[in-house]
Amino acid sequence: MSTLSTANKQKISDIFSKEEIKQLTSRSDAMGFWAISSTWVVIAATFAGVAWASEQLHGLALILVIIIALIILAGRQLCLAIMMHDAAHGTLFANKKFNEQLGTWLCAKPIWNDLYQYRPYHLQHHAKTSSAQDPDLSLIAGLPTNKTSLARKFARDISGLTGLKFLLGRLLMDLGFLKWSVTNTIEKIPQQGRAWWDYPLTFFKNSWGMLLTNGVMFALLAATGHGWLYSLWLLAYVTPFPLLIRIRNMAEHACTEKTANTFKNTRTTQAGWLARATVAPLRVNYHMEHHLMASVPFFRLPQMHRLLRQKQAVPTAPSYLDVLKIVSAK
């Protein structure tokens, strides 16, 4: 069993009994299927709602529906990313093959991600949280900042600049120019000796799953006579999606202590229904609990939090608004 931190020398077994640990780490195929199916049902319903609105509404009313749809789609794109994250830990399903295959094809590939590239990268984050070797450190660099600077960051996200930059980075990674990453860290790959035909072959090798899943999505929408709705998936990906990712990253580790102590380098955040629909799908707001015991599946994290509160092991969690005030307090 992994220790909580080298700072306090405390183990999970010092907090939870063997029975509690066994119960908390029990996984469920049914809950994994529910998480994936409900996410895609919301995505399909959102497309259907916009299709209906496009025939019934006009002007500002239609624009408002599209804006709401973009936020919903971005929230479900983040949910797909969180399910990929859980599959990387082997907790989305009890069945290993379900974790690998469904985590890849129904979660990672539709949002141009890669479960097998992500897994070692993310496990390094868990092993080296807040240290110089933490690959996610650049996501919260420069915080806290002031309100004006934070507003500029949000404006870049909403305008699509952050999303377009991410797409360019992903393209260069799949072409083999850059090493794989989900952060702002850029590491070039030497190009000496590469023939011109290696670039399209490398791109296809790395991106064919994304092209296939997104092609299927477009084909299904086109079959209903509303192929244009696929543009909303792309627009959500480059506008609200980066903003939701930024807020989620801030909540998890920004302005926490640079220490090996999980109680001090990671934050759990309160999430109401709006947060759960956007920045905190699948109970990802219980991030301290996740870092304490990454083998706990998403649906048991609230129970783990309650037990920690009963044992007076964790403080009252701040809200996402509280976090935004903390990161802009400079």
> What is the reported pLDDT for 70?
98
Residue 115 lies in a domain: yes
Residue 24 lies in a domain: yes
Residue 174 lies in a domain: no
> What is the reported pLDDT for 8?
46
Say if CB 273 and CB 236 are below 8 A apart. no
Give the residues of the chain that fall short of pLDDT 70. Answer: 1-10
Tell me, what amino acid is at 323?
Answer: V
Residue 167 lies in a domain: no
Q: State residue 318 phi and psi, 5-degree precision.
A: -75, 165
> What is the reported pLDDT for 6?
42
Residue 69 lies in a domain: yes
Residue 3 lies in a domain: no
Structural domain that includes position 235: 12-161+210-327
Residue 249 lies in a domain: yes
Residue in 161, 39, 48 with CA at minimum distance from that of residue 110: 39
Query: How far apart are alpha carbons 131 and 251 in whole angstroms?
Result: 18
Query: How far apart are alpha carbons 290 and 129 in whole angstroms?
Result: 12
> What is the reported pLDDT for 10?
62
For residue range 134-173, what is the model confidence (pLDDT) as tens digits? 999 999 999 999 999 999 999 999 999 999 999 999 999 9
Using alpha carbons, list the distances in angstroms from residue 109 to 123, 300, 312.
Answer: 20, 26, 41
Query: How far apart are alpha carbons 126 and 121 in whole angstroms?
Result: 9
What's the structural domain count of the chain?
Answer: 1
Residue 179 lies in a domain: no
